[in-house]
Every structure is written in structure tokens, then in C-alpha cells.
């Protein structure tokens, strides 16, 4: 079972859902810092940070991770969102020396996940540095340059390798020859739910406000002005939002995305993702979604058509109990 390999040892998978925008020009750092929610000016090459892109009304338009290099800033984001995100950015390049380029066709990636995820790389002759989350380094393998990223990993270690398509194809073949299991899409989705990581377009839509997503790692509250900052600061000054992102253990039917949550016959939230997850200790039904804070505060009984839901802390403790 590939999910067991993810949780207990190591597994790999191609990265097919992410792409890259290259930002160049002498004004790139100042300009980008005014477009996103985190502090780009504090980064140096080898560091990264997670960001939201907001509308003037503070609604989330995209998410991305920014990685500066010596002569550019590379933005990792949802591959399907790159045309719309580039168009949005273009509208705010006025007199700035900034250029945007979609470099996704030149890059391919794979991810290694699990407590022993680094071991296959060492066995293949790659020697990545010990990195903190969202730090990156350049390593060489078979004469090719490979970008190594310690990816966001709230539950178990997760790493990304990016290079030219030929090199990534060779790395993939080497991992297969070493009998490292490849994770299926369902396994990666189950891990995402266990981690409690919201996915843009599924759990994060353009109606969400940043603090509602519980992803405070995307926000910097003293960096200066940026698009949508007024709304973020207004929410911060008031101390909380009325609804928050949460995980739910489900009993009953497995609900589709969009299923409403109720308490005392009143609507209190919605489910955005759900799956039946086969853990070694037994299957669980887990969902992600949004719920009004007052329903959490008074520990109300939460129901949905076909079952009941219990709010749980994220990452899900059921996955942490698996032996490494």
C-alpha cells in the first residue's frame, strides 16, 4: 500500500500540478513584495516563503511559493492558474522594470515523501544539504543541476527535485530500479487530507479571506503595503474571523465537496474535501472544510446529510500514530 510507504518509509511521485513563473528586472523584489501577502524583501537565495495573492477586497486569487535566486525570483504555483495569475500581475506592472515568464515547459519535478525520503537520494549519489522547510539548494547529479527543495511538510518529511525533463526522467527510472514505490494520486490526496493542507481551487476559493484558511504561514503583518492588505489588517485588529478551516472525522455516508454542515438545524459550514483513507490501523473518513467559530467554541453537534462530523486538530493525529 503506497500510503503506508508514505507514512512509514519513502515513496515518490511526479509533480504534475505545479508550474513556475520567473520574475526578472531590477524592480522585481519591491514590486512582488507589493503584490503578495508575505515578506519577499526578507528572503535571500536559498530561502522561500508561502504567499497569497489577494484582490482589493482581500479575497484569495492564488497561492504561490517564492524562491529568490541571484538574478530572479521563481514562483511555484498551480500550473493551471499561471495564465490567469500572469495576466493579473501584468495589470500592476506600470513603470516597473519587471518581466514575467512562464518557464514551466523547461522544468520537470518529482517529490520524495516519508520518514526515510532522503535515503534513496543518498543511495543514488545525491547529497542534499540539511534544509529547513522552504529552503532550497542546488545539487549536481550525472552532470546536471538539480534544484532540491524541502517542501512544506506538516506531518512527514517532503522534498522536491526540479531539473530539465530528461534529468527528472533519469532520476525517476533510477528510483524505480531501486524499488522505491511510486505513490498514486489517491495516496497523495489522502496524505494531503491527513496533513490538513488546503488546495487552491478546492479548499481555497476566490471567496475566502486569508485568515479563514488558517494558513497564517502565508501572512506577514509588518511588511508594508500590498494588494488587499487593508482587509487583512482589519481582520487582524479585530482578532478573529467568523469561520475557520478545520478537519472533520466523519461517521456515515462519504459526502461530496460542497456538502453543508449544520448544528442545531442551522448552517455552520461546509465540506470542501473528503475521502475514506485506508490507514494500517483501519479506515477513517476524513474531511476538510470551513466551520463557524461559535460552533467550535460551544462544541456543538455537527451534522451533514447522511452523517455526523467531529472537528479534529490538523494534522490528523490518527496518522501520527503510524510507526516510522
Q: What is the mean pLDDT of residues 88-98?
A: 97
Q: Is the pLDDT of residue 239 over 50?
A: yes
Residue 223 near residue 29 (C-beta atoms within 8 A): no
**HEC states along the chain?**
CHHHHHHHCCEEEEECCEEEEEEECCCHHHHHHCCECCCHHHCCCCECEEEEEECCCCCEEEEEEEEECCCCEEEEEEHHHHHHHHHHHHCCCCCCCCEEEECHHHCEEEEEECCCCHHHHHHCCCCCCCCCCCEEEEEEECCEEEEEEECCCCCCCEEEEEECHHHHHHHHHHHHHCCCCECCHHHHHHHHHHHCCCCECCCECCCCCHHHHCCHHHCCCCCCCCCCHHHHHHHHHHCCCCEEEEEEEEEECCCCCCCEEEECCEEEEEEEEEEEEEECCEEEEEEEEEEEHHHHHCCCCEEECCEEEEEECCCCHHHHCCCC
Q: What is the mean pLDDT of residues 130-159?
A: 95
Write the CB contacts of 234 (distance below 8 Å, at least 6 apart in sequence).
Answer: none
Query: Superfamily assignment of 242-324 in CATH?
Result: Aminomethyltransferase beta-barrel domains (2.40.30.110)
The whole-number pLDDT of residue 257 equals 97
The whole-number pLDDT of residue 1 equals 54
- Indicate the annotated binding residues: 160
**Residue pLDDT, tens place only, 36-60:** 999 999 999 999 999 999 999 999 9
- State the average pLDDT for the chain: 95
Cα→Cα distances 80→22, 254, 320, Å: 16, 28, 32
Q: What is the mean pLDDT of residues 265-287?
A: 96
Domains of the chain by residue range: 1-241, 242-324
Q: Is the pLDDT of residue 10 over 70?
A: yes
Q: Is the pLDDT of residue 134 over 90?
A: yes
Q: Is the pLDDT of residue 33 over 80?
A: yes
Architecture of the domain defined by 1-241:
2-Layer Sandwich (3.30)
Q: What is the mean pLDDT of residues 229-235?
A: 95
**Residue pLDDT, tens place only, 102-131:** 999 999 999 999 999 999 999 999 988 889
In this structure, of 108-117, 171-180, 247-256, 308-317, the range with the lowest mean pLDDT score is: 308-317
% of residues, the chain, pLDDT over 90: 92
- Indicate the annotated binding residues for substrate: 160
107/88 Cα distance (integer angstroms)? 23
Amino acid at each position: 500500500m503506497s500510503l503506508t510507504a508514505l507514512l512509514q518509509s519513502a515513496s515518490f511521485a511526479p509533480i504534475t500540478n505545479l508550474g513556475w513563473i520567473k520574475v526578472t528586472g531590477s524592480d522585481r523584489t519591491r514590486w512582488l513584495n507589493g503584490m503578495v501577502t508575505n515578506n519577499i524583501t526578507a528572503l535571500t537565495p536559498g530561502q522561500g516563503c508561502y504567499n497569497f495573492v489577494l484582490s482589493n477586497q482581500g479575497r484569495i486569487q492564488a497561492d504561490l511559493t517564492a524562491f529568490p535566486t541571484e538574478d530572479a525570483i521563481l514562483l511555484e504555483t498551480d500550473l493551471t492558474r499561471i495564465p490567469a495569475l500572469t495576466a493579473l500581475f501584468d495589470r500592476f506592472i506600470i513603470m516597473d522594470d519587471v518581466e514575467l515568464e512562464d518557464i514551466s515547459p523547461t522544468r520537470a519535478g518529482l517529490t520524495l515523501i516519508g520518514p526515510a525520503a532522503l535515503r534513496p537520494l543518498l543511495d543514488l549519489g545525491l547529497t542534499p544539504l540539511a534544509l529547513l522547510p522552504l529552503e532550497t539548494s542546488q545539487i549536481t547529479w550525472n552532470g546536471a543541476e538539480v534544484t532540491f527543495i524541502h517542501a512544506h511538510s506538516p506531518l512527514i518529511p517532503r522534498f522536491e527535485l526540479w531539473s530539465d525533463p530528461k534529468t527528472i526522467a533519469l532520476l525517476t527510472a533510477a528510483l524505480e530500479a531501486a524499488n522505491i514505490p511510486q505513490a498514486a494520486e489517491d495516496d497523495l490526496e489522502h496524505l494531503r487530507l491527513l496533513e490538513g493542507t488546503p488546495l487552491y481551487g478546492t479548499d481555497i476559493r476566490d471567496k475566502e479571506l486569508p485568515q479563514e484558511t488558517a494558513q497564517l504561514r502565508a501572512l506577514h503583518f509588518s511588511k508594508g503595503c500590498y494588494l488587499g492588505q487593508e482587509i487583512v489588517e482589519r481582520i487582524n485588529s479585530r482578532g478573529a474571523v467568523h469561520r475557520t478551516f478545520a478537519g472533520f472525522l466523519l461517521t456515515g455516508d462519504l459526502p461530496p465537496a460542497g456538502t453543508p454542515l449544520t448544528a442545531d438545524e442551522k448552517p455552520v459550514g461546509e465540506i470542501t474535501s473528503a475521502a475514506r483513507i485506508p490507514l494500517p490501523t483501519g479506515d477513517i473518513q476524513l474531511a476538510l472544510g470551513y466551520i463557524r467559530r461559535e460552533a467550535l467554541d460551544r462544541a456543538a453537534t455537527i451534522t451533514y446529510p447522511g452523517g455526523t462530523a467531529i472537528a479534529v486538530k490538523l494534522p490528523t493525529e490518527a496518522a501520527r500514530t503510524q510507526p516510522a
